[in-house]
Amino acid sequence: MTVGVLALQGGFAEHVHALNKLGVSSIEIRRPKDLKSPMDALILPGGESTVMGRLLRELDLYRPLLDLIRQGMPVWGTCAGMILLANEVEGEKDTHFAVMPISVRRNAFGRQLGSFSCSGLFTGIGDLPMTFIRAPIIQKVNKNVQILATHDNFRVAARYDTMLVTAFHPELTNDTRVLQYFLGMANAL
């Protein structure tokens, strides 16, 4: 299995490190030519979703990645990646890929100083560490979206079809179970 990791900005290196730890090959996606390498799944990391969205378009990656996702490429969006996938961002008229039927709210736990770590239950995994950095939350969901985790009654992880989103950053911990969950999703297709 080979996983593409969007490497324009943000926490892509941590995802690549976690994949390496599990012995999974990865491709860092920076240019359209990087998409010529075969891949089985895609990770959209945390970072600045507005910057990533702009870079996706400027570097001509937006349309090819959107096409891959629409064709069923398994994709996992962490934090900013969740915002990129959401079909609605509260208080904003512009969206990015808009392929996952969820509405998200940016910085739901506050700004950078509001970042924190805790533990929480994740459906199918159990209790795991969760690191939130200016994290969004899921406000609304389509009836076919499965909520996988909550924190203080806020929805912080979900699955829809071949898409997984987490408001928290599993790649910043030593726990690889969410990554293994995602890889299991991709292998099941």
Which pLDDT does position 43 carry in this prediction?
A: 98
* Token pair belonging to 137: 């939350």
Catalytic residue among 15, 96, 151, 169: 169
- How confident is the model at residue 110, as a pLDDT? 73
Blockwise average pLDDT, block size 10, the chain, 189 residues? 96 97 97 96 95 96 97 97 97 93 90 82 96 94 96 96 97 97 92
- Residue 58: both structure tokens together: 């400027």
Report helix, strand or coil for 43: strand
118 part of the active site: no
Per-residue confidence (pLDDT) for residue 112, from 0 to 100 = 64
Tell me if 7 sits within 8 A of 19, measured CB to CB.
no
pLDDT of residue 114: 66
Report angle CA 118, 121, 167 to the nearest 5 degrees: 60
pTM for the whole structure: 0.96
Per-residue exposure over 68-102, b if at least 16 CB sit within 10 Å of its own CB, e if not: bbeeebbbbbbbbbbbbbbbbbeeeeebbbebbbb
Return the pLDDT at 108. 86
Q: Which residues pair with 78 in a beta bridge?
A: 166
Active-site choice (79, 90, 92, 118)? 79
Instruction: List domains and CATH numbers for the chain.
Output: 2-187 (3.40.50.880)
Catalytic residue among 14, 15, 151, 171: 171
